[in-house]
């Protein structure tokens, strides 16, 4: 708290900072300690695996809403106090490990907040992650710490940093939407609902940065250096977005940007398997941030104690810096012909 008061004083007394300086200052508010504290709550047994329609999923959305309220970040317009309700989500039976997961019809909600832009308030950057996991089956809780607790706490830390910038008189030029979508594990339903019922015009949405599993290391990598992140989709709609992403990483975080799964011939087809895809189908430039699968993927063993929090911090900072650049540059992204 003392450090944040000092930062507030320092920025107001010394206002002549470049956007690059400001991006560095506010990225330093993203810490492995806070990410860990948030994730140990969000991926705890108390949330019961956050399966769509369950009591644990309702606890999860309340937790996200309370975070935004406590940090004075506004609900998105058209929501009911941050909630975009989705009625009658139909799910089919599917295998989870060696067992069937029940089918049914459920009600759920996306959680959506916004920081308005100061210069281009009607242009939007969406930062997204899916809030659900696989619930509780046969007495085992699928807490989904990496998938996708890591994405949700990353968004919260990014949102907190932007909110502090606003408080200190440095709002983004474009509006930032923080979108936690439900029912990804049931077929990208929450993000599909959002793009079919957008709270803000899709034609004014300049990019989607989607975060789905960024807290672990892919054991299949031949290069055992953990300093990497898989990027998917960055060049498919806007080569300029890809170039910006590369430059931002080179300048700030120096992660190895791995495009293995961006190949159109990738047999895993990850480009089509997370929530960014519903934005891409609407010709909105996207980046999907991903660490790859591991032995705990979709298992009860995907727990918070297995997350690499320093790596999660660094990857979150990359996303923050990218969002900061997109929000504060003068021109919209160009779209590939």
pLDDT bracket for residue 192 (50, 70, 90) = very high
Specify the pLDDT at position 56: 98
pLDDT bracket for residue 93 (50, 70, 90) = confident
Specify the pLDDT at position 4: 54
pLDDT, tens digit, 9 for 90 and up, residues 33-70:
999 999 999 999 999 999 999 999 999 999 999 999 99
pLDDT bracket for residue 26 (50, 70, 90) = very high
Q: Determine the average pLDDT of the residues in 168-191.
A: 97
Angle at 120 between CA 115 and CA 123, to 5 degrees: 75
First and final CA of the chain: distance in angstroms? 49
Specify the pLDDT at position 249: 98
pTM (2 d.p.): 0.94
Peptide bond into 208 cis (omega under 30): no
- Beta-strand pair 205-211/286-290: parallel
Measure the CA dihedral 92/96/102/103, to 10°: -10
In contact, 115 and 95? CB cutoff 8 Å? no
Q: Determine the average pLDDT of the residues in 263-292.
A: 97
């Amino acid at each position: 708290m003392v450090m944040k008061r000092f930062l507030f004083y320092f920025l107001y007394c010394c206002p002549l900072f470049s956007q690059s300086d400001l991006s560095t200052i506010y990225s330093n508010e993203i810490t492995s300690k806070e990410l860990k504290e948030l994730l140990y709550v969000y991926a705890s047994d108390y949330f019961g695996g956050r399966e769509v329609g369950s009591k644990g999923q309702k606890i999860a959305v309340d937790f996200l809403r309370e975070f935004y309220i406590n940090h004075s970040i506004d609900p998105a317009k058209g929501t009911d106090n941050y909630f975009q309700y989705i009625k009658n989500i139909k799910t089919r039976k599917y295998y989870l490990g060696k067992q069937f997961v029940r089918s049914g019809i459920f009600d759920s909600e996306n959680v959506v907040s916004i920081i308005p832009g100061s210069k281009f308030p009607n242009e939007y950057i969406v930062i997204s992650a899916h809030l659900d996991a696989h619930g509780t089956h046969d007495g085992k809780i699928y807490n989904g710490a990496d998938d996708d607790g890591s994405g949700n706490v990353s968004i919260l830390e990014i949102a907190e940093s932007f909110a502090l910038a606003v408080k200190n008189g440095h709002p983004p030029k474009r509006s930032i939407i923080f979108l936690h979508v439900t029912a990804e594990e049931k077929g990208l339903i929450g993000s599909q609902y959002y793009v079919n019922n957008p709270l803000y015009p899709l034609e004014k949405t300049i990019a989607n940065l989607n975060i789905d599993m960024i807290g672990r290391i892919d054991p299949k990598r031949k290069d055992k250096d953990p300093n990497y992140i898989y990027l998917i989709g960055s060049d498919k709609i806007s080569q300029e977005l890809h170039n910006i992403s590369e430059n931002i990483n080179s300048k700030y975080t120096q992660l190895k940007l791995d495009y293995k799964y961006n190949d159109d011939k990738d047999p895993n087809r990850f480009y089509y398997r997370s929530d960014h895809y519903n934005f891409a189908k609407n010709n909105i430039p996207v980046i999907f941030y991903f660490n790859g699968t591991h032995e705990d993927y979709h298992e009860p063993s995907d727990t918070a104690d297995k997350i690499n929090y320093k790596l999660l911090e660094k990857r979150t900072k990359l996303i923050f810096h990218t969002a900061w650049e997109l929000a504060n540059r003068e021109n919209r992204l160009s779209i590939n012909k």
